[in-house]
Structure 1
Amino acid sequence: MVRAATVPDGHDPLGAVAELPGVPEAVDAARAACEELRWHEAYRRRWREVRAEAGIRSARASAALDGARVPLDLVRSMAVGAPPAESAEHRTALGALRAAAYVEQWMPALAARGAAQLPPLGQLVAGTHRAATGGWLPDERVGRLRGSDAPEDLRGLGVAVSGAELAARLDLLGDVVRRTNAPALVVTAVVHGELLALRPFAAANGVVARAVARLLLTARGLDPTGSVVPDAAWAAAPNPYLAAAAGFATGTPDGVARWVRACADAVVIGAGEARVIGDAVLAGRLAG
């Protein structure tokens, strides 16, 4: 994991990460994919439709990574208010959809001027967890950091810290995000990887980490369209995703660099998914 507590004031806490082997090239590839996407005809007048469909597909892919594989048309029906069936899979998918909707409210409009104003990271993460788990997780665990109890998910990422240490680590991560001027891809990858490693909540940690990462891609300017779907890449290769996250959790330079490069690859693939969505919006035919 990234250790930034000893970085002196005036130095970028993620500067070293941005210079790891292969990371500058990965940043450039992700930026090029997002810049090319911006020229798609769908973003002239119909970017809101593209973003909305991207959120639905992102939620479906994120839920699939948590074992809930549901049809895309079903997730679309949930998005317009259809009640889900009483099953764990449908509950997870609805939670992922609500998390996607929650972070989208913080996304700036396409072509908006000025930096996006986000709440502090800890507040943002807790709000996303409430959106993802409200109604099925016990109230005393919704949006609240774990105490001494172990997380119920992502058990293959090593031992998770808890209690005061967990709270301190999340505070440190928020401070890193506030202080850094590293490329958006690097910031997003570090937050995504650290939330997976920390697993701050009892459950739904993966859904929260991926939703927050998608928001940061947009809020920090890499994907101003808000329609890149990196979750599609992760859902297509869940084992490599978890393996890369486990490598990041070791905190070694090689493990961190591999994770950041994997995140860049997911953005490139996610930009391709966004182009498919844009084509479908223009054609008036959203595939199931």
Structure 2
Amino acid sequence: MPDVDSSLFALGELPGIPEKIDAARAALTQLRWHEALRRRIPEAAAESRVRGAQASAALEGANIPVEVVRDVMRGAAQWPTDPDPVELVARGAVQATAESEHVRGLVGTAPLQALARLHVAAAGHLLETEQVGRPRRDEEGSAEFTDLGPAPAPAEVSARLDALSQVLTADPAVPALVVAAIAHAEVATVRPFLRGNGIVARALARAVVQARGLDPTGVAVLEAGHAAQGGPAYLGALAAYSTGSPQGLGLWLEHCADSLVAAARAGEQVCDAVRAGRLT
């Protein structure tokens, strides 16, 4: 990917995108000033991860009550010893969303290491040990996101991951929304792993918006922002991105910007619940 920084800056200047970026930044700045965040950021951020994990699982078709996710994430409950398929997917979403907090310092310095750690969290319980934390090899495919067409061959995956590393280490002046959106879409559409690509993509985006200072508190519920627009809209925007056209890229960036505005609203609901003591 020649001159990645210039390409990313250009994406941020596509028609209508600067205004969308400004709207998302304003929504997240407003969230940062919520009264509950004066002294209770860790509590609000933890609840954001709870709701984010629940929404990420739901986007995979694994609907599970937020109360169950909250109890698991705070250590008050454990997954069943014989989990069903829904619980297996939800467990991956919970673990990857939690891990996003620990890799945010790596996404801009050792991006492939961050990606591997997120995959271990998302799919370590679903795959053989030798298949976890590394890209697909040889004739390995991925049956995920089939609506986007066949997954790229493993030989192409390597080149795309190299390009993704350049995106994640781009100039700090590149809008964080652009970096997070492209990173998210690359993982989802390239499908570098056998399983868990969507969950990893959303956890990676969460880490990026924190690491790049767009949501430094980690209270915005990024995953709920995507879920708020509905699964078909999410897949449709990813499909538009996969065309590689300026129109398709712009549609995906618009979707991500609108998702961040919705994520900020969901974060405000978290803050209201924290302030009112409504979390159990």
TM-score, normalised to structure 1, is 0.91
Instruction: Give the CA deviation at 1:285.
Output: 0.3
Pairing partner for 1:83 from 73, 78, 84: 78
- Residue 157 of structure 1: aligned partner: 148
The one-letter amino acid of 2:273's match is A
Aligned residues: 274
Contact kept? 2:176, 2:212, Cα under 8 Å: yes
Instruction: Give the CA deviation at 1:118.
Output: 4.5
- Residue 227 of structure 1: aligned partner: 219
Structure 2 distance, partners of 1:171, 1:164, is 12
Structure 1 distance, partners of 2:74, 2:49, is 13
Instruction: Give the CA deviation at 1:93.
Output: 1.0
The one-letter amino acid of 1:13's match is S
Q: After alignment, is 154-163 or 201-210 more displaced?
A: 154-163
Instruction: Give the CA deviation at 1:21.
Output: 0.9
**What SS does the corresponding residue of 2:214 show, helix, strand or coil?**
coil
- Residue 262 of structure 2: aligned partner: 269
- Residue 26 of structure 1: aligned partner: 20
**What SS does the corresponding residue of 1:150 show, helix, strand or coil?**
coil
Structure 2 distance, partners of 1:251, 1:15, is 16
The one-letter amino acid of 1:155's match is T
The one-letter amino acid of 2:268's match is R
The one-letter amino acid of 1:97's match is V
Pairing partner for 2:3 from 4, 7, 12: 7
1:120 aligns with 2:116: no
Note the residue ranges of structure 2 that are not aligned, 5 or more in a row: none
Instruction: Give the CA deviation at 1:80.
Output: 2.6
Contact kept? 2:225, 2:261, Cα under 8 Å: no
Note the residue ranges of structure 1 that are not aligned, 5 or more in a row: 109-115
Q: RMSD across aligned C-alpha pairs, in angstroms?
A: 1.6
Structure 1 distance, partners of 2:25, 2:125, is 38
Instruction: Give the CA deviation at 1:83.
Output: 1.8
Pairing partner for 2:95 from 81, 95, 98: 98
TM-score, normalised to structure 2, is 0.93
The one-letter amino acid of 2:142's match is P
**What SS does the corresponding residue of 2:7 show, helix, strand or coil?**
coil
Instruction: Give the CA deviation at 1:38.
Output: 1.0
The one-letter amino acid of 1:228's match is A
